[in-house]
Structure 1
Amino acid sequence: MLAVQKSIRTLSPFNNELKLKGFKVFPIEGDSGATRQYSRKDFYKICLSNGRSKIHYANRSYEVEGSILFFGNPHIPYAWETLSQSYTGYTCLFSEEFLRPSMQAESLLQSPLFKIEGTPIFQINEEQRLFLSRIFDKMIAEQAESYSYKDELIRNYIQLIVHEALKLEPSKNFDRQSNALARLTTVFLELLERQFPIEGVESPLVLKKPQDYAQALSVHVNYLNRAVKEVTQKSTSTHIKERILLEAKALLEHTNWNISELAYALGFSYPSYFNNYFKKELGLTPSAYRQSRV
């Protein structure tokens, strides 16, 4: 029994607002502000950026410099490496539920911009960048207003950006073969990290084994294992195990979930399986670990 009641881990104000409204737009303020912490499991992303970067998207990699427009799908793993020290632009995050009231939402989300076989990156010129920047500025201004129909207006701005992108020629600056093992490892690690944090017992961990990740990435599990081992010197199973244990320790320390709830949230069929798993790796039962942190 815990001596002190601990509160369930809460989301940051940024995450709370994003979850509540289903939408958020913000400027990228230099390299340090290029990454925000949010749950990629739930949100589509449109990013207008200027700088040099390398983007791993599904089974492809893109190295780009200058102004680009990027479309991210929460169901497709991607990783973004910023290569230049100066990086500016805008990011727009939105849920499918936010866009759904629009009659065109389904067709837009099924466009090539958001599909795994499509091209999510568009190189744009200065005139296009300025035009799109003004749209992002309008969205930033509108989200702070009390106008009753501002959500509908913002949905219209998102659709305008999507339609502008559909008129552009997609970027072809990608390499399917070069350093394929490193690229696959990058998207595996990104997909692994995307499963966390566990925000509630009602949304348990789904991908738990190397086979689960291989299926999600559309590769054979042996190929995934070979890539991860060669690049990181750790097995796929070890990465998964270490990340689950890290999350288990965080939940034990920062929530008041009982052991059964915690076990189910982490994808274990029975609490006893979780107890044995945890004790084998750390030498303590989950309850004993929790008590040691009180």
Structure 2
Amino acid sequence: ADTAYTEMLFASRVVNEAGYCTRKLQTCESDSRPLIVQLCATSAKELAAAGLLVEKLCDAIDINLGCPLPQASAEGFGAYLLDAERRPLLTSMVSALAAAVRVPVCCKIRLLASVEETISLCRDLQAAGCSMIAVHGRTRPPSGEHRRHRDEPADLDAIRQVVAAIELPIIANGNTQHPRAVAENLQLTGASGIMSAEGVLRDPMLFTLGHLPSKRTLASIALEYLELAREYPPPELSWVRGHIMWMLGKNGKGHRCTWEHVGPFSAQQLHTAILGAESVDELDTIVRCTLLS
């Protein structure tokens, strides 16, 4: 991979909560760049203030305009800033951030109801000061259906049309669940790059291995990750549990499992064992029992 995004950080907490940035932006300076910090906000002033606090830690700042979760709906950030009546607020936020910081400003969006509307949105973002746009190839899901909706195929042809119409680097997001998809999606969309989120959580070597890992290879990857977790312990063990959950075939809610039975565990037993682990060493044992037994 050429670059990485942080998780979505709340601009309000960056500005007002002591220790929030320190906790969320722990990096290994030599290995963590280029890095894009992803912010969500509902205020141009607050977004600009947060940008000034994080710009020294990153190479670009992204405004999240794709989050479909209930909190985003309730507070009006993420994908809910894409509504037509909120466009003036959105463009003012992009302009304020671009004027405040020295690093590039980029945006991650979802498709709107039509390709034409999506292209119009991208043009407005470009005019406001956005330097790069990542396009998630799905529309905002109906309330309460974001998990089902994200399993549907992304509309790569719509992204292709956006790429053809917009004179900015466009990053295609969606349908990157296996190694071949990287090259395939680049060819289908003509995008400047491919973004993968869940695909890389499941398979951290998605961009380098070229094929789905065997259980033994996956064990090696997971054990290497756990060594890094020992060397650079995160603030909470739940972060490590979550990554191991993805690598072993399940998302954090237990809705998926790559194998019906994994080592000595059933899918549900594996889920329970990982959630119950109280140390990196316990997670190490689970990985070895699961993939190497």
Q: How does the TM-score come out when normalised to structure 2? A: 0.29
Structure with max Cα Rg: 1
Q: How does the TM-score come out when normalised to structure 1? A: 0.29
Structure ranking higher on relative contact order (CA contacts 8 Å, 6+ apart): 1
